[in-house]
A = this chain, B = another copy of it.
Amino acid sequence: MQPDDLDARLVQLLTDHPQLPILECARRLGVARGTVTSRLARLQAGGVISAIVPQVDPAGFGYDLVAFCSVDIIQNIGHEPVTEAILAAIPEVTDLYTVTGDHDLHLRVVARNGQDLQDVLDRISQLPGVARTSSSLALRTHIQGRTLPLLHAVTDSTS
């Protein structure tokens, strides 16, 4: 679907003020309450808004280390068994992608400290189907999961 400028401003407003009532949103955007309601419904139906749920941050309970890990898979094994094994066995894996390039899988993992990270990477390496892993530590997270600038860019160029 194609969101417009009003959609972008609505999402921005809700992002800045998480629990702002719909009536207040309508007031600040200068539209009727029903408009805000229908827009929200349309955004959710269209998949632009995937969910409105509590965002759990692992750093909040000690997992403040982030690393990226590339996994090579043993040749004659499919991707599925390996990805399923990783997802099932390693809760520290927050993101898992099949990628092109030098390696097969790309994952983002979190850990409590260096020792814990080594343990996590070891557990991944020892999973059946995993041939080799290589990793790099995130020294600093400049931004993570930002999407609003893109949404604004799209709606600005549209209007």
Contact = CB atoms under 8 A, between A and B. Distances in A.
Given A3-B61, A150-B91, A139 B53 contact: no
Interface in A3-35: 3, 11, 14-15, 18-19
Nearest to A153: B91
Q: How many chain copies?
A: 2
A125 interface: no
Interface string A116-159: 00000000000000000001111111111111111111100000
Contacts of A149: 91
A56 B55 CA distance: 13
A101 B91 CA distance: 24
Interface of A: 1-3, 11, 14-15, 18-19, 43, 46-63, 66, 68, 79, 83, 87, 91-103, 106, 110, 135-154
Given A48-B57, A52-B55, 10 more contacts: A3-B61, A18-B52, A48-B56, A48-B61, A49-B57, A50-B55, A51-B55, A68-B97, A68-B99, A101-B137
